[in-house]
Structure 1
């Protein structure tokens, strides 16, 4: 995956405005993939920062992992199918032996006919 462009966000809030922030209200900011949310809860200032590019990167890796797993399963299924379609080596050796014996008998008969015809 190509590198994602960097995003930065600066949210400038005067301190008096933060102190006057009503309960449940917040300041929001977004620039590109970067986002920030500033909330006041009692005497605590809560700042939440997000970055969409990280989420996109996680989704890309999950899709890539799913694709690779799918490819691995299909390759293993093809390998199992090819392995099942192969002949037994003993069967191949037996067929080759019988074919050799048959061709030897036929050649012997043909050679003897030519020798006795002369």
Structure 2
């Protein structure tokens, strides 16, 4: 599977999702789409999640963190920690996102234990 093509496909699927009636519906849709990738190539899904977290684009970062937590991708932890540090230092986004990113970090660390 080609990472660029898969990333582009998944991003367009998620941006095109029209039934955004609730956060849970969207997350379920995201996971269903990610399952399609995971069944074929778990390492590709892991790389994609980490790339998206490192993208510093709010949507992609959020989706990447969601995938990392759902699939227990512990290798994403340093990227999430780095992102959290940038927000704390005021280098990225606003402090509003601090609690949000910290929540993902706590959830992925809980899965490790």
Tell whether the structures are fold-level matches, with TM greater than 0.5: no
Higher relative contact order (CA 8 A, sep 6+): 2
Q: Is the helix fraction higher in 1 or 2?
A: 2
TM-score (structure 2 length as normaliser): 0.21
